[in-house]
Amino acid sequence: MKQFALGTHFWIAGAMSLAVLAAGALGIGSVALGQDQSVAAPKDVIFARKILMGSIGDNMDELEGIIESGKIDVQHGASHADLVSVMMLAFPHLFPPTSNEWKPNVDKDPGTDTFAAPEIWTRFADFYQRSSEAAKSAYNASRARNEEEFKKYVTELRADCDGCHALYQKKN
């Protein structure tokens, strides 16, 4: 189990260095260098939370795929659930007030623009709490001892995703 947890953290470190490399390739790093280093530029933090949520989405697809396959491999599911749990814990820390940039009725680039609703910043305690609940459901799924438990916690996790999006993610 210890071995496994280490593997996961190496994976995350790898993903993060890839993200840093990608940011460098896009020229984001060089722009940031010319700025006050104590405050991340809003577009950098928006990029970070979008790739993090994107990866949470990919891992959730895996979790739901495992259930749909009919033959639930709890051990395989645990690795994806563990990743979702760690990423959900980091997620709410990527919402500084300067990144409240969503505006109605303007054309948006789904790849780079934010769909985070302004209500996040007026009800941040609730937003934070929902992130923690999702992290907890994912953690419970990673510890499931059988198919029943795995299904139960992945279903709870899906409800956490949808509940938060309904309140805090804009559709356009």
Non-local CB neighbours of 120 within 8 Å, separated by 6+ positions: 95, 100, 127, 168
103-115 burial code (b ≥16 CB/10 A, e <16): eeeeeeeeeebbb
Q: Which amino acid is at 139?
A: Y
* Identity of the residue, 14 or 54, whose beta carbon is nearer to ligand HEC in the bound complex: 54
What sign does the dihedral 92-143-160-80 (CA atoms) show?
positive
* Identity of the residue, 72 or 138, whose beta carbon is nearer to ligand HEC in the bound complex: 138
3-state helix vs strand vs coil in the chain, percent to 5: 75, 0, 25
When asked if residue 160 is in the footprint of ligand HEC (CB under 6 A), the reply is: yes
Q: Which amino acid is at 29?
A: G
Q: Could you give the string, one character per residue 28-67, with x where binding to ligand HEC holds by CB under 6 A and - elsewhere?
A: ------------------x--xx--xx-xx--x-------
When asked if residue 82 is in the footprint of ligand HEC (CB under 6 A), the reply is: no
* Identity of the residue, 33 or 96, whose beta carbon is nearer to ligand HEC in the bound complex: 96
Rg (CA), the chain: 17
Q: Which of 47, 127, 139, 153 binds ligand HEC (CB under 6 A)?
A: 127
When asked if residue 136 is in the footprint of ligand HEC (CB under 6 A), the reply is: no
* Residues in touch with ligand HEC (CB under 6 A): 46, 49-50, 53-54, 56-57, 60, 84, 114-116, 127, 130-131, 134, 157, 160-161, 164-165, 168-169
